Structure 1
């Protein structure tokens, strides 16, 4: 029993009876004193109320509240798990090297897993909520539209597009569409396969070069022995006949042409069976100077002015000095052939650091330059514009530089001269050679 909160001075109590009148009952008692004029208790009044229904309702509400609380806790826990799963899936998408788009059936881009960059095939960095036709780059508009029509017809064939980067280079993107189950939208996965395509191209080029090399080597072997016999016979005939005048000149011309053919055969055999570089710590300045000494007569004949500029702090690099020397001889001879008399040849070497410490060698001439349409073919075997030569010089130079994990670039403009740039890493790292024009 406790003091009543309803009646002042009264007391109240609640009790439960398992069997009262044949029923379970909850009763509520209130007892209040009656006072006389002197303020003394002379009697009491007591009320009894059956509150079974109210108690049942209270229990029911308590149970319902407990149920709601449990459901709320379960919903909160479920929401947390859903958020964790969503964050986990988003983390997977963010970590993917591929870009993922969700496009509705009416062409609206609903989702993209990472920000766009220049060269991703779009003209805007903000594409969510926009129709793809508003933001696709012009150079891939036609193929994108055609493939979108295929997708709407249920044809989900991966396709490649080439897009322009900010630096002017081309990038190849593989686009893979597929439907999203249970919706009327589509998923596009965009993968940059530029490096893969470059490797693929290099692989096929190497296969082609290997086949050409084997064929050329076979022909060269067949030519070498008869050529040696012709040369020997010509020398014997010259000694016996002792020709003079025009006949002597003809013998000299024939011998010179045989020497040229022998060099051509040797070049083909070297190209067909390249040797692995025998690397050792070498002084790049000494290699460049030795190569220059080997072309001294050609320089002198044309009165070429040679300027050299070598940094003094270049450390020794692990290279095959003989292989590199032959490569630079070829580069020098090409430069000399391209120049008129009294031209200028500039040779420099310096340290650079573009993430990899390297030595940059530049050979610059002020000769006739190279036609723009010839630039993509400079490293192709047997490609040449010279009257004499096998067209293997630059091919062999590039192969040698690649064997040293270097980069060979050629910058040229018709009538303005040519610059050959050779980068040789001090820290070994695989890189690719390429050519470009100014």
Structure 2
């Protein structure tokens, strides 16, 4: 704006605009609002200043409005006073282009022909300092630029000194063409005082080129502190469409009155009883004519469709109830019109957000001619969810119980097999084909180990370590870990990441595990049909969710396989290439985070996995500080020869393997298959280190540790537990709190030697 506008003028203008204006902080606290809004809500400014904006807006509605550029129709709700409004919003930026505030503009729809009331008095005083005044003027100028009406300011001689953006657009003038011109170029009226003092009335406005249009003009004078007039303010509203609308409404009203008069006597006797019965039904009930156009809906249907009953009249079933991807032939109403028989269908509707039974029956007149339809929709979403939850919970409980037992029982024999393979592979006598066969055995044991580990993850019940996570950052780290493998397999990654996404509150390790599983799946799907391909990964905000999509151009999934794709042990891969646990584990992780995971696929056209996770309710402040790097693994040190080691394990073969392996490294090794005997040996022999099974029949890991603390505290620091029970969180908790080394069976002997060296060299 070229000429200066004082805060007094801007505030005065703000209060004269009929739109409701609200200025909030980024946190949603009200900083400023104009008098038309206060008058409409019948409250004082002090009642709302510094209050959260949700006090007058429903939170969901506000957030929805903030996400779209187009104006939204919602309802103000304050002290049981409801006002329908058309709402839009904009973000206010300071000189450094930093978001500072949010400006909300709402138009009162109760009386569209009524504009601003009487012009209020000028604001009393300029703000405390020039800096605050300048900031306020900037905000109010932005507000004027955003309002939907044409605002003009003239000096005392009625020469134009300011016009907002809407005014220039409406009157088709450039800024330089306006400034300095007399206000009379804008309109014609017989009232000479129309742009002097306080005035309101209808005028004939003139655009550039002399095009005329009807407008409602509201003017007022602006005075300084001593009461002297220093200029005038004018607000134009184009009422062309409003006049047309009024005419159309008047015609519609006349027509409606005629029809009502003709039918009132006939309907009055039975209407009340029928109306009460109709609206008391909880199902969504609608009555249609022979063209499938709605004649009547009950309150339940109108509420579900977020409309008034009259708004739904004349619309067809398909447009209201059926998803866009369904053809008209799949609509139950269409079937009834063709067959004239009752049709019942169960439909999973995205539009209605749930699963519903549709029951449509024909209505015949006295001549047995089809006269219309009665359409009843029953919401069975909760019932279906309960059925699905019960079925899935039963599956999960059974698999969890099975997995917990398998992991413990299978890990011991796997440890024995792996141990003997290690011994034989280190024997120079076994070469050639025998060594190859031993290597294959060792590899298959490792494969079985991974399967057992996946089972343990599936069965384990543990507390998530949640924190605020940037999903894009987590995805980039995941892709970085897989970059070599992706490049080697000729898989290209295409990223479609939305900027400035809010974070999510999740267990990062678990979500990364889901990402790994889905990337592995997409790679397998591509390589099953060709030797190269692409994966498109999208991360975007979808209302209050962050949506992540993994889309491949692989083989796709058969329709009959999709309902079972997240079931445990279900896999479409060849034998040996999949355990069927990856997607099941991923499903459980996402559900534990209150999210959703779905799949969309067509055979031969690729597959898309869609994950949705809730946006974090509190947005943390992230600095540029990177996560701390983990320390490099310590270099392997030479073994302390002649160190005395005690092995405690009730599995004799495991003890034999450990004795044989450790002696080859120069250790002195003793063993005990009995827990009590082991305690006696510890008291009588000076051991440098103890390797013990965590769960002995007569000696628990906790008891061994407590006994060491009591009798040989230093030896308690040289303790390694081994266990085949990977599902018990109490074991992990115990060793982590006491910084005790723990190896899960089956373990590699080299890993054991590395752990021994680490403890002995501390």
Query: Could you say whether these structures have the same fold, taking a TM-score greater than 0.5 normalized by the shorter chain as the test?
Result: yes
Deviations 1:275-325 (A, max 9, x none): 343221111111111222232343133121222232221122111111100
Partner of 1:411: 600
Q: Is residue 2:581 matched to residue 1:371?
A: no
Please say if residues 490 and 533 of structure 2, whose CA atoms lie closer than 8 Å, have aligned partners that are also in contact.
Answer: yes
Please say if residues 364 and 419 of structure 1, whose CA atoms lie closer than 8 Å, have aligned partners that are also in contact.
Answer: yes
Please say if residues 475 and 515 of structure 2, whose CA atoms lie closer than 8 Å, have aligned partners that are also in contact.
Answer: yes
**Alpha-carbon distance in structure 1 between the residues aligned to 2:616 and 2:342:** 41
Deviations 1:153-199 (A, max 9, x none): xxxxxxxx635769799944399xxxxxxxxxxxx997421331122
Shift of residue 99, structure 1, vs aligned partner: 4.9
Partner of 2:340: 134
Shift of residue 328, structure 1, vs aligned partner: 0.2
**Alpha-carbon distance in structure 2 between the residues aligned to 1:309 and 1:189:** 43
Question: 5+ residue gaps in structure 1?
Answer: 1-82, 103-110, 141-160, 176-187, 429-438
Q: Is residue 2:600 matched to residue 1:394?
A: no
1:411–1:100 Cα change, 3 Å? closer
**Alpha-carbon distance in structure 2 between the residues aligned to 1:337 and 1:378:** 15
1:401–1:232 Cα change, 3 Å? same
SS in 1 for 2:340: helix
Shift of residue 369, structure 1, vs aligned partner: 1.5
Partner of 1:343: 533
SS in 1 for 2:580: coil
**Alpha-carbon distance in structure 2 between the residues aligned to 1:230 and 1:255:** 8
Question: Which of residues 61, 70, 94 in structure 1 aligns to 2:279?
Answer: 94
Please say if residues 538 and 548 of structure 2, whose CA atoms lie closer than 8 Å, have aligned partners that are also in contact.
Answer: yes
Please say if residues 100 and 113 of structure 1, whose CA atoms lie closer than 8 Å, have aligned partners that are also in contact.
Answer: yes
Map 1:36-435 → 2, pairs under 5 A = 90=275, 94=279, 96-99=281-284, 113=298, 118=321, 122-123=332-333, 134=340, 136-137=342-343, 140=344, 162-163=346-347, 171-173=355-357, 191-340=378-527, 341-353=531-543, 357-386=544-573, 387=575, 388-426=577-615
SS in 2 for 1:123: helix
**Alpha-carbon distance in structure 2 between the residues aligned to 1:88 and 1:168:** 29
**Alpha-carbon distance in structure 2 between the residues aligned to 1:401 and 1:344:** 25
Please say if residues 547 and 611 of structure 2, whose CA atoms lie closer than 8 Å, have aligned partners that are also in contact.
Answer: yes
**Alpha-carbon distance in structure 2 between the residues aligned to 1:412 and 1:362:** 13
**Alpha-carbon distance in structure 1 between the residues aligned to 2:506 and 2:349:** 35
1:417–1:100 Cα change, 3 Å? closer
SS in 2 for 1:295: helix
Shift of residue 206, structure 1, vs aligned partner: 1.0
**Alpha-carbon distance in structure 2 between the residues aligned to 1:281 and 1:91:** 52
1:278–1:92 Cα change, 3 Å? farther
Number of paired residues? 298
**Alpha-carbon distance in structure 2 between the residues aligned to 1:294 and 1:233:** 33
**Alpha-carbon distance in structure 2 between the residues aligned to 1:351 and 1:101:** 36
SS in 2 for 1:370: coil
Question: 5+ residue gaps in structure 2?
Answer: 1-267, 288-295, 302-316, 323-329, 360-374, 618-762
**Alpha-carbon distance in structure 2 between the residues aligned to 1:134 and 1:92:** 26
**Alpha-carbon distance in structure 2 between the residues aligned to 1:166 and 1:265:** 39
Shift of residue 389, structure 1, vs aligned partner: 2.4
Please say if residues 409 and 422 of structure 1, whose CA atoms lie closer than 8 Å, have aligned partners that are also in contact.
Answer: yes
Please say if residues 348 and 361 of structure 1, whose CA atoms lie closer than 8 Å, have aligned partners that are also in contact.
Answer: yes
**Alpha-carbon distance in structure 1 between the residues aligned to 2:466 and 2:506:** 4
Shift of residue 416, structure 1, vs aligned partner: 1.6
SS in 2 for 1:306: strand
Partner of 1:9: none
SS in 2 for 1:376: helix
Partner of 1:21: none
1:349–1:169 Cα change, 3 Å? closer
**Alpha-carbon distance in structure 2 between the residues aligned to 1:242 and 1:169:** 69
**Alpha-carbon distance in structure 2 between the residues aligned to 1:327 and 1:166:** 26
**Alpha-carbon distance in structure 1 between the residues aligned to 2:616 and 2:387:** 26
1:352–1:112 Cα change, 3 Å? closer
1:100–1:369 Cα change, 3 Å? closer
Between 91-100 and 333-342, the greater mean CA deviation after superposition:
91-100
Please say if residues 362 and 421 of structure 1, whose CA atoms lie closer than 8 Å, have aligned partners that are also in contact.
Answer: yes
Please say if residues 173 and 194 of structure 1, whose CA atoms lie closer than 8 Å, have aligned partners that are also in contact.
Answer: no
**Alpha-carbon distance in structure 2 between the residues aligned to 1:173 and 1:296:** 48
What TM-score do the two structures reach when normalised by structure 1? Answer: 0.59
**Alpha-carbon distance in structure 2 between the residues aligned to 1:122 and 1:135:** 10
Partner of 1:3: none
**Alpha-carbon distance in structure 2 between the residues aligned to 1:101 and 1:364:** 41
Please say if residues 330 and 393 of structure 1, whose CA atoms lie closer than 8 Å, have aligned partners that are also in contact.
Answer: yes
**Alpha-carbon distance in structure 2 between the residues aligned to 1:290 and 1:95:** 56
**Alpha-carbon distance in structure 2 between the residues aligned to 1:243 and 1:235:** 12
Please say if residues 264 and 389 of structure 1, whose CA atoms lie closer than 8 Å, have aligned partners that are also in contact.
Answer: no
Please say if residues 498 and 540 of structure 2, whose CA atoms lie closer than 8 Å, have aligned partners that are also in contact.
Answer: yes
**Alpha-carbon distance in structure 2 between the residues aligned to 1:190 and 1:293:** 50
1:164–1:326 Cα change, 3 Å? closer
Please say if residues 173 and 192 of structure 1, whose CA atoms lie closer than 8 Å, have aligned partners that are also in contact.
Answer: yes
**Alpha-carbon distance in structure 2 between the residues aligned to 1:320 and 1:286:** 14
Select the structure of larger CA radius of gyration. Answer: 1
RMSD across aligned positions (CA): 3.7
**Alpha-carbon distance in structure 2 between the residues aligned to 1:225 and 1:330:** 27
**Alpha-carbon distance in structure 2 between the residues aligned to 1:252 and 1:227:** 15
Deviations 1:244-272 (A, max 9, x none): 22222212211111011001001011111
1:261–1:368 Cα change, 3 Å? same
